[in-house]
């Protein structure tokens, strides 16, 4: 019985390492202009050679604000449930029961958060109001999430706290633009 437990722990640790490595390697091209519905962003707000973009004068995706708030809410909810709260509860500290499991979940959540935040940013680019104030902070969140999980693994919660501050800032800015984000901590990150 003891060898089965050891094998299970080793397997769990290997999965955690793979997930964390994959999360760290997801700093790919965030200028993808596809959305969850497969709509493409109109040429009037396409990226130029320097990676900058121009904001549209009117929505270029149907229900851009609605899609933005859904994707941001899903991403922010997953961040709070699987990364921020376990970090604050001490689940990532050495010697804690369930530490490996917490990291596996945090790694999977990091991948999910990055995707949802990227999709939310694309939807924000399609709305003239959100485009001007939300897109750059959303990209910053996407860029920081993997590093926050890696730092938490080392016992440093500073980046997790900083990321939480960034999330709160985007939520405040978004609410000021008429799009209130409600973090969905019950969102399914598995599929």
Cα separation of 135 and 24, whole Å? 21
Angle made by CA atoms 148, 142, 45, in degrees to the nearest 5: 165
pLDDT of residue 43: 34
Per-residue pLDDT of the chain (191 residues; tens, 9 = 90+): 456 666 566 656 656 565 555 544 444 443 333 333 333 333 334 444 445 668 898 888 899 999 999 999 999 999 999 999 999 999 998 889 999 999 999 999 999 999 999 999 999 999 998 988 899 999 999 999 989 999 988 889 999 999 999 999 999 999 998 899 999 999 998 86
pLDDT of residue 133: 87
Domain boundaries, the chain: 2-24+57-176
Cα separation of 112 and 78, whole Å? 8
Q: Is 139 exposed, middle or buried (0-12, 13-18, 19+ CB in 10 A)?
A: middle
pLDDT of residue 33: 38
Cα separation of 57 and 174, whole Å? 18
pLDDT of residue 47: 47
pLDDT of residue 132: 86
Cα separation of 180 and 69, whole Å? 7
pLDDT of residue 37: 38
How many other C-beta atoms can be found within 10 angstroms of the C-beta atom of residue 156?
14
User: pTM (2 decimals)?
Assistant: 0.73
Q: Are 130 and 144 in contact (CB under 8 A)?
A: no
């Amino acid at each position: 019985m003891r060898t089965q437990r050891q094998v299970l722990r080793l397997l769990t640790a290997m999965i955690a390492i793979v997930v964390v490595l994959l999360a760290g390697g997801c700093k790919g091209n965030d200028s993808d202009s596809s959305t969850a519905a497969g709509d493409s962003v109109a040429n009037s707000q396409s990226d130029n050679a320097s990676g900058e973009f121009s904001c549209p004068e009117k929505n270029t995706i149907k229900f851009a604000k609605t899609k933005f708030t859904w994707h941001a809410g899903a991403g922010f909810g997953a961040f709070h449930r699987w990364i921020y709260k376990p970090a604050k509860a001490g689940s990532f500290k050495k010697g804690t029961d369930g530490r490996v499991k917490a990291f596996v979940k945090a790694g999977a959540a990091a991948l999910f958060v990055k995707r949802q935040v990227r999709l939310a940013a694309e939807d924000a680019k399609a709305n003239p109001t959100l485009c001007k104030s939300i897109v750059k902070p959303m990209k910053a969140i996407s860029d920081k999430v993997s590093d926050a999980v890696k730092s938490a693994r080392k016992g440093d919660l500073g980046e997790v706290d900083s990321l939480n501050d960034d999330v709160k800032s985007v939520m405040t800015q978004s609410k000021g633009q008429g799009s209130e984000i409600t973090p969905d901590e019950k969102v399914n990150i598995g599929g």
